[in-house]
A and B are shown apart, each in its own frame.
Chain A
Amino acid sequence: MNVPEGDRRVVIVGDSVAGITALREVRALGHTGPVGLIAADPDGCYPRPPLSKKALVDSAGDPEGWSLADLDVDVTRSAAVRLDTERRIVHTEGGHGVYYDALVLATGARARRLAPEREGEFVVRTMQDSTALRDRFSSASSVAVVGAGFLGLEVAGAAHRLGLSVTVVDTEPPLMGVLGPFLSSAVADRLRAASVDVVRATAPVVPYGDPIEGIAVDGVAIPADVTVSCVGEVPNCEWLSGTGIADDHGVAVDEQCATAVPGVFAAGDVTFRRDADGTVRRSPFWSHAVAQAKVAAAGALGLEPRCAPHDDYFWTEILGAPVKIVGPLPPAGAPTRVDGSLADASAVLEWDHADGRRTVVAFGAKKSVGWLRRRAADDV
């Protein structure tokens, strides 16, 4: 790059946690030159984890927006629609052209839908989604949730807390793919004890009706006042077509969070990594996005990053019980150690793996991530 570092214009596209963390890190690393942010969420920038938990139960749980007042940032409130890597310009829906010397892509992902062409399918991704679902919950008595992953079970937990009759459907047992058989079974027990109906489908589940009236599971109709799809996400990278930066999996990044085009970095849910054997790895989790954003920001400034580009801490809530996890997933078989009671949702579970690594899970037990990390590193 020929532009002196101090004058370099760093532009960040996207205003969720990856975008805002990159923005903050660019300033924290001492960059005093121009910084731009291109973002389109009508509610501004705010943390999303509460949207599938407290915010679905009560508007008092809505996240507060982040202030950018201290950052001296040029904000363009419009969706990015095209990237010109030759001229280094991001074109927006509103007709703006934003020039950059270094770019950080953090456009995230959107909820995958099962019936996009029909009325009445709810998803949870943005503040608007969450508010719409909360409003719908207030006049409903039953909900069908498609997908027994983290998001689906969080939505089920909120609906259960509101007193709705809840059915969760998936072709796999709850959280089996991520947490493995032991924890999956513990989660299923907790759901069953709370009378949340967990249904195992043998074929993909489809909503029926228009507007949607429920879901069809292996040919049997399960009517519901509300149908929520929690079936994964689609990276927002269509606007990058023609640049060679993105494919169907999203934006490929390396250990520096660099993309295929020099000067263009990426972080968060829009990204994926490819292992040496070609396996595509996506890690659409909060702490991972934070770590990637810091590395991408350093890359955009041509500096050494202050942390690794990954962080395996993540958490969820199973019917009000916080579950916090550090270490490789999914753990196979039974845990090496269990401290406390799983049935009372107050346990710490550990798996010692053959390669010397350790997975530590606080299942309802109040433990800090620092403690979990120290346990995982065998430092406590």
Chain B
Amino acid sequence: MNVDVDFDRCEGHGLCEDQAPKVFRLDDDGDLHVEFEEIPEDQAAAVRSAIAACPVAALRERA
């Protein structure tokens, strides 16, 4: 799987980082970084939790 970030929607809340800390990283300014080009299989469930936890619907799964 992979994940798309809509940076126009992202407000830097960082709840994705709480759910999948190995994949999502917010810097101190609240800018989001995705640490993988392709999400490792063992992170897929955490990433899907992150997608659901995003309060501004800025994350989307890409098939």
Contact = CB atoms under 8 A, between A and B. Distances in A.
Interface of A: 17, 20-21, 24-25, 27-28, 46-47, 49-50, 54, 63-64, 66-67, 70, 286-287, 290, 313, 315, 322, 324, 366-371
B60 A368 contact: no
B30 A287 contact: no
A347 B52 CA distance: 30
A67 B28 CA distance: 30
B29 A290 contact: no
Contacts of B15: 286-287, 290, 369
Contact of B61 (A24, A49, A67, A313): A67
Nearest to A30: B45
B23 interface: no
Interface of B: 9, 11-15, 17-18, 26-31, 45-46, 48-49, 51-57, 60-61
B56 A50 contact: yes
Given A368-B28, A370-B14, 19 more contacts: A17-B53, A21-B52, A28-B45, A28-B46, A47-B56, A63-B56, A64-B60, A67-B61, A290-B53, A366-B31, A367-B12, A367-B28, A367-B29, A368-B14, A368-B29, A369-B18, A370-B17, A371-B26, A371-B28
5 contacts: A286-B15, A290-B18, A368-B13, A370-B14, A371-B26
Contacts of A286: 15, 55
Nearest to B44: A70
Contact of B29 (A25, A287, A315, A366): A366
Given A50-B57, A63-B57, A290-B53, A369 B48 contact: no
A70 B57 contact: no
Nearest to A23: B52
B61 to A, nearest CB: 7
B57 A64 contact: yes
Contacts of A20: 52
Contacts of A367: 12, 28-30
B57 A322 contact: no
A21 B49 CA distance: 7
Contacts of B29: 366-368
Contacts of A313: 13
Given A324-B13, A368-B29, A369-B15, A66 B52 contact: yes
A82 B45 CA distance: 33
Nearest to B21: A370
Contact of A27 (B11, B27, B45, B54): B45
Contacts of A369: 12-15, 17-18, 26
A368 B54 contact: no
A21 B56 contact: no
Contacts of A28: 45-46, 49
B33 to A, nearest CB: 11
A47 B14 contact: no
A24 B61 CA distance: 15
Candidate in B14, B46, B60, B61 with the most chain A CB atoms within 10 angstroms: B14
A366 B48 contact: no
B56 A49 contact: yes
A52 to B, nearest CB: 11
Contacts of A63: 56-57
Candidate in B11, B26, B51 with the most chain A CB atoms within 10 angstroms: B11
Q: Which 8 A-B pairs have the closest CB atoms?
A: A368-B26, A369-B14, A368-B30, A63-B57, A49-B55, A368-B14, A371-B28, A366-B30
A67 B52 CA distance: 9
Given A47-B57, A63-B57, A368-B29, A24 B12 contact: no
